[in-house]
């Protein structure tokens, strides 16, 4: 019975490792505004994200400008100005502001029961672009209206399944990783052969890390394919990779720790076998020799 319970707990560890990583990720990375903004901040220097923001802001700005035959030239001028602005410290500040607003919107949509969409407002970026164009002396730049351009990040329909899963993960929080450690210790205590149990627990941990890495990789194309057609796929991929960076790191750490435990168990057994005294020294004295 001890072996059966130990084996069952060991198999359970393989499933709890990725779930524990997801629960910590939901609490620390997704659920905390400061950490979310810090995670998204490096994307301000990503070329795909800069191009996507430039296209969207230019589109919204040109809707409010009519210069007749010069429309195409002004459009290119605005786009180049936005791209130039995207490499500045002011853009990074605006980018952090937008992400802070976006996180608040997504968090509200995920935790409320009102069926709200998660939307963000590009007005901070438009305001800074307007100021940049005005400083450069672009004609009519001062007349650009700074409207609250709302961009839907996730619709209420898309949030249906995410909302339930997110709430469960947030509820689990750090209790699930703690329970995983307790169950691993219990599996080790119940094991008949502890060294072998350590090896199996290491394999289960490594398997859990592999499952987490596979899940993150498989979910990427599914998430990108589910986005609206007007969303830039390269920028969305960069955002997905940034958001799931913690999960990939957790997967590799679990894989490394698991394999290290397997190696430690094997080395311990190998050293124990090679430190035993030779068989001749363990034989009882020859009775005939004692008689003589």
**pLDDT tens digits, one per residue of 101-146:** 777 777 776 666 665 555 666 666 667 666 766 776 655 556 666 6
Does some domain include residue 252? Answer: yes
Q: What are the start-end ranges of the H helices in the chain?
A: 2-25, 33-40, 47-62, 71-86, 89-111, 123-135, 159-172, 175-190, 194-225, 233-243, 245-274, 287-291
Does some domain include residue 152? Answer: yes
Q: What's the pLDDT at 287?
A: 56
Q: Are 223 and 243 in contact (CB under 8 A)?
A: no
Q: Any idea which residue has 């008689």 for tokens?
A: 291
Alpha carbon separation from 27 to 19, 82, 174 (Å, rounded): 12, 35, 8
Does some domain include residue 289? Answer: no
Q: Range of 156's domain?
A: 39-160
Q: Which of 106, 102, 103 is nearest to 121 (CA)?
A: 102
Number of domains in the chain: 2
Q: What's the pLDDT at 25?
A: 87
Q: What count of Cα atoms within 13 Å lies in the side-chain half-sphere of residue 50?
A: 17
Q: Residue 119 in 3-state DSSP?
A: strand
Q: What's the pLDDT at 212?
A: 93
φ/ψ (deg, to 5) at 228: -60, 160
Tokens encoding 89: 């410290």
Q: What's the pLDDT at 149?
A: 58
Averages of pLDDT over runs of 10 residues in the chain (292 residues) are 81 90 84 82 80 73 61 67 71 78 72 61 67 64 60 57 70 82 84 81 92 92 77 80 88 93 83 64 54 54
What's the mean pLDDT when you consider all of the chain?
Answer: 75
Does some domain include residue 68? Answer: yes
Same domain, 252 and 199: yes
Does some domain include residue 256? Answer: yes
Q: What is the dihedral of CA 161, 164, 166, 172, to 10 degrees?
A: -140
Same domain, 183 and 151: no
Burial of 161 (0-12, 13-18, 19+ CB in 10 A): exposed
Tokens encoding 88: 């500045």
Q: Any idea which residue has 């619709």 for tokens?
A: 155
Same domain, 43 and 154: yes
Q: What's the pLDDT at 252?
A: 95
Same domain, 19 and 45: no
Does some domain include residue 274? Answer: no
Does some domain include residue 79? Answer: yes
Same domain, 113 and 174: no
Q: What's the pTM? A: 0.72
Does some domain include residue 222? Answer: yes
């Amino acid at each position: 019975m001890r072996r059966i319970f130990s084996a069952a707990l060991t198999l359970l560890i393989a499933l709890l490792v990725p779930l524990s990583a997801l629960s910590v990720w939901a609490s620390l990375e997704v659920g905390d505004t400061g950490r979310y903004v810090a995670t998204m901040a490096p994307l301000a220097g990503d070329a795909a994200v800069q191009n996507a923001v430039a296209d969207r802001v230019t589109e919204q700005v040109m809707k409010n400008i009519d210069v007749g035959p010069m429309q195409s030239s002004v459009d290119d001028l605005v786009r180049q100005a936005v791209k130039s602005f995207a490499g500045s410290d002011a853009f990074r500040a605006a980018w952090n502001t937008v992400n802070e607003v976006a996180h608040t919107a997504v968090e509200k949509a995920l935790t409320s029961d009102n069926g709200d969409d998660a939307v963000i407002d590009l007005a901070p970026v438009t305001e800074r672009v307007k100021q940049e164009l005005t400083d450069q002396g672009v004609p009519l730049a001062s007349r650009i209206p700074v409207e609250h351009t709302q961009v839907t990040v996730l619709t209420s329909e898309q949030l249906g399944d995410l909302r339930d899963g997110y709430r469960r993960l947030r509820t689990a929080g750090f209790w699930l990783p703690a329970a995983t450690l307790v169950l691993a210790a219990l599996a080790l205590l119940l094991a008949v052969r502890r060294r072998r149990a350590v090896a199996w627990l290491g394999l289960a941990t490594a398997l859990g890390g592999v499952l987490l890495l596979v899940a993150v990789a498989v979910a990427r194309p599914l998430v990108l394919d589910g986005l609206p057609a007007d969303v830039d796929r390269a920028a969305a991929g960069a955002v997905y990779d940034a958001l799931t960076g913690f999960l990939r790191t957790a997967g590799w750490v679990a894989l490394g720790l698991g394999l290290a435990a397997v190696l430690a168990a094997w080395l311990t057994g190998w050293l124990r076998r090679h430190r035993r005294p030779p068989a001749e020294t363990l034989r009882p004295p020859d009775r005939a020799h004692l008689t003589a």
